[in-house]
Structure 1
Amino acid sequence: MASFDVKAYITGAKCLEPGGPVCHPGDAVFVGTDGQFYNPQTESPIAAPVKNTNIEFHVDKRGGTENIVLPAYLKSARIWLVADGESLVFSAHVDGGNLFMDMPSATTDATDPNHNRRFSFVEFDSNPDELYANLSFVDWVSLVLGISLKTKNGTEPQTIPGLMKDSVDNICKAVQELGGAWAGLCIKRAEDQQTLRILSPNLNNSLHQDFIPDYYDKYVNAVWERYINTQDDGNCHKVDKGHEVKCQVDVGTQNLTCDAGTPNQYLKPTTADIWGCDSGPFKIDGNDEISKEIVSRISASFVRSTLLLDGGDIQPSVGMAKYYNPGGDYPTNQYSRIVHEHLINGMGYAFAYDDVNPVGENAAGVLKSPDADTLTVYVGE
């Protein structure tokens, strides 16, 4: 960084009953510099900036640290980091009597107050039973981050080293070398050509709805042909969920039907569905746990292009070394591939279901412990 001057913010949902199953949207809070939770104050139905400097933690020198103690447990929490001495602009609004936080996003809109900032976040959940944390590059890459988790029992800390030195510029260069729409994922500051961030296809598509719209079409068609229902069990895609759930494409409806006791049917996905992992056949309604398991596995196998590989008929079974079709002809998520190549040990979330892995692998770089003491976030260049 030109000047190592980092500011941090912590946001999350405060559970009124610690350990309870639900944290309501109206419980959105910051952790304040006074060690207490701060609830944004607004009555506006339109997003209004949060004006409170007591939510901003400051590390102003290389090798510096800032120790923060949570007042209580937080759900769906984020630790936000912003470089170069800049501050992040957060907003809040009221809807139906509940207060909602409007989080900073890596938009391509030059008028957005956070557009010229370099910022990232780490996700975590805490409750009396467990602390869970991960690096997230699902939407964009902007800062070099790593995390470690120390436990109270004195065992060796769990560590996810994160991105390599100079990764942000190197990831930018790699997507630019792909050319075409991929090159546009790297966003630079107009004045000095500083790399601000590299957007994921998912975020780019949600902003513009046109990121290579036919990119996966031939692959999807080939997968559907591979798993068409011929009554031949060899053409059956099996989702390993502790037990096998058999899935086949129905000749008549052209839907993927997965027999998990009762038939679950899924439409043929579009490229946009695969980028986002949450639309079309991958949209999950309600709390159907079986469907969640099936969707996560099928979605991950499309993103990583593993469905036509040897062993790809059971998901997840193909390991990290074969993700993203190395040396093959199939289209794949090049952003996720490149991000993982720049992660030490390949570990960190680069798409929504990166936590779908064969037993013994941890591509998502998840840390968790029932005996957590300290979560440390490292920020580098």
Structure 2
Amino acid sequence: MSGNKRRMLLSLLATATVVTGLAAAPAEAAVPATIPLEITNNSGRADPVYVYNLGTLLSTGQQGWADENGAFHAWPAGGNPPAPAPDASIPGPANGQSKTIRIPQFSGRVYFSYGQKLVFKLTTGGLVQPAVQNPSDPNRDILFNWSEYTLNGSGLWLNSTQVDMFSAPYAVGIRPASGATKTTGHLKPGGYNGFYSSLRGQAGGWGNLVQTRKDGTVLRALAPGHGIEAGGLPASVLNDYVDRVWAKYANSTLTVTPFADQPGTKYFGRVSGSVMNFTNTSGAVVTSFQKPDSDSVFGCYKLLDAPNDLVRGPISRTLCAGYNRATLLANPNQPDTSAANFYQDAVSNQYAKKIHERMADGRAYAFAFDDVGNHESLVNDGNPQQGYLTLDPFN
């Protein structure tokens, strides 16, 4: 995904998998080919808004975009160097207004930008996504954000995400066939400005994650892995915590029970030299991890790779959450799913901590496996009648 290492909770735009590793729930009723998505602009901004619905059409595996009526358009062939993509923008609602578009059965993203259209290009390998940790990215000075979703025969999964960056505030919702509308993603009053103030006040380079335009307009805060890539956050920022974890489990055992519904499935981790070996209940080594660097922790990849299997992936997800939330030292039984125990060590993912502190419901996707323990900002329903995307105030 355009060199930004796509450390997201989704296998978006390249596969037809269900979002965030979620198992699809049985369909309660036939899900239509498209459903309405109401976009409401409560931003307080006068800038024009542009909306994009990009993704993989699940019925065919083709990548492309959908227009406001939900009709699918496949991307044309790309080039080398990358060629401009067709203009897939949809005029969004003005401040104080709403607009309804239709979303098809996609695994994809709904982008929205303020003031300017986004720049998308196509390579021979497909769509180039914005990668604003790169100072030469054409979208670097555009204020934008995106939501992620999968709509398939089993329902709708719709989330807000900060895995790559914290930027223009928004919330998502679903109206089911019965029951109350489900929503998530709203910040507390003052949460937007409070997040940036807190991040800038955090010692150790965390304030360098904030990106602004030349006129001083705050655009976003990069996720810490991208901050390391861009040179703003020290690559050693989590080393002290990782070193302490490594020392602890050289002399004691870390127990991982990765499946809440399978309490008998346990793996036992012990450090031996440069690796942490995990054994099963029979004592056989099932997987091993090299000592992770900070970027591996933030991105839940590289030395903490999480394949889509039933052993290494689930263990890695658990470790990733434990390192980011700094629960591995205090609790040898993982995952620790109590939010009260998260980020208590000064050496932890301060970006994620500050986002969660400012969410109205405490939920966020501040790193790739923030869904461990169900702390993610996700709504889902097997019989969705309508989705919602609300552009929130910048305060």
Aligned to 2:356: 340
After superposition, what is the alpha-carbon deviation per residue over 1:272-326, rounded to whole angstroms, capped at 9, x for unaligned? 211211111x1135x42221111100110000000122xx22222341122111x
Aligned to 2:31: none
Tell me whether 1:45 sits opposite 2:80 in the alignment: yes
Contact 1:136 1:350 in 2 (8 A): yes
Tell me the CA shift for residue 42 of structure 1: 3.5
Aligned to 2:51: 8
After superposition, what is the alpha-carbon deviation per residue over 1:45-79, rounded to whole angstroms, capped at 9, x for unaligned? 33222132xx2222342221111113x4112x101
The alignment partner of 1:321 has SS state of helix
Tell me the CA shift for residue 4 of structure 1: 4.7
Tell me whether 1:300 sits opposite 2:318 in the alignment: no
Amino acid corresponding to residue 30 of structure 1 in structure 2: W
Contact 1:151 1:374 in 2 (8 A): yes
Tell me the CA shift for residue 253 of structure 1: 5.6
The alignment partner of 1:255 has SS state of strand
Tell me the CA shift for residue 43 of structure 1: 4.3
Structure of greater relative contact order (alpha carbons < 8 Å, 6+ residues apart): 2
Aligned to 1:58: 91
Aligned partner (choices 161, 171, 176) of residue 146 of structure 1: 171
Amino acid corresponding to residue 128 of structure 2 in structure 1: D
After superposition, what is the alpha-carbon deviation per residue over 1:198-224, rounded to whole angstroms, capped at 9, x for unaligned? 11111222344x732222222222212
Aligned to 2:227: 204
Aligned to 1:375: 387
Tell me the CA shift for residue 10 of structure 1: 0.5
Structure 1 residues 320, 118: closer, same or farther in 2, change over 3 A?
same
Contact 2:327 2:336 in 1 (8 A): no
Tell me whether 1:169 sits opposite 2:188 in the alignment: no
Aligned to 2:202: 178
Structure 1 residues 254, 278: closer, same or farther in 2, change over 3 A?
closer
Structure 1 residues 254, 34: closer, same or farther in 2, change over 3 A?
closer
Aligned to 1:159: 183
| Structure 1: tracts of 5 or more residues without a match | 18-22
Tell me the CA shift for residue 105 of structure 1: 2.5
Amino acid corresponding to residue 334 of structure 1 in structure 2: Q
Whole-angstrom distance in 2 between the partners of 1:29 and 1:56: 12
Whole-angstrom distance in 1 between the partners of 2:229 and 2:156: 31
**Alignment identity in percent?**
21
After superposition, what is the alpha-carbon deviation per residue over 1:326-356, rounded to whole angstroms, capped at 9, x for unaligned? xx4x401100001111111111200000000
Structure 1 residues 142, 254: closer, same or farther in 2, change over 3 A?
closer
RMSD, aligned α-carbons: 2.1
Structure 1 residues 226, 41: closer, same or farther in 2, change over 3 A?
same
Aligned to 1:316: 335
Tell me the TM-score normalized by structure 2: 0.81
Whole-angstrom distance in 2 between the partners of 1:9 and 1:371: 24
Contact 1:144 1:162 in 2 (8 A): yes
Contact 2:318 2:372 in 1 (8 A): yes
Aligned to 2:9: none
Whole-angstrom distance in 2 between the partners of 1:176 and 1:331: 16
The alignment partner of 1:69 has SS state of strand
After superposition, what is the alpha-carbon deviation per residue over 1:120-173, rounded to whole angstroms, capped at 9, x for unaligned? 111101110121111110111111111111112x21111114223453332222
Aligned partner (choices 319, 327, 352) of residue 368 of structure 2: 352
Structure 1 residues 217, 63: closer, same or farther in 2, change over 3 A?
same
Contact 2:337 2:372 in 1 (8 A): no
Amino acid corresponding to residue 56 of structure 2 in structure 1: A
User: How many residues are paired up?
Assistant: 345
**Larger CA deviation: 129-138 vs 239-248:** 239-248
1:15-30 equivalences in 2 (<5 Å): 15-17=58-60, 23=61, 27-30=62-65
The alignment partner of 2:247 has SS state of helix
1:58-77 equivalences in 2 (<5 Å): 58-70=91-103, 72-75=104-107, 77=108
Tell me the TM-score normalized by structure 1: 0.84
Whole-angstrom distance in 2 between the partners of 1:120 and 1:7: 11
Contact 1:129 1:370 in 2 (8 A): yes
After superposition, what is the alpha-carbon deviation per residue over 1:93-144, rounded to whole angstroms, capped at 9, x for unaligned? 224xxxx1111232351x4321111111111011101211111101111111
Contact 2:149 2:158 in 1 (8 A): yes
Contact 2:212 2:219 in 1 (8 A): yes
Contact 1:306 1:318 in 2 (8 A): no
Structure 1 residues 332, 201: closer, same or farther in 2, change over 3 A?
same
Whole-angstrom distance in 1 between the partners of 2:369 and 2:386: 26
**Larger CA deviation: 182-191 vs 55-64:** 55-64
The alignment partner of 1:133 has SS state of strand
Aligned to 2:138: 113
Whole-angstrom distance in 2 between the partners of 1:229 and 1:323: 24
Amino acid corresponding to residue 238 of structure 1 in structure 2: V
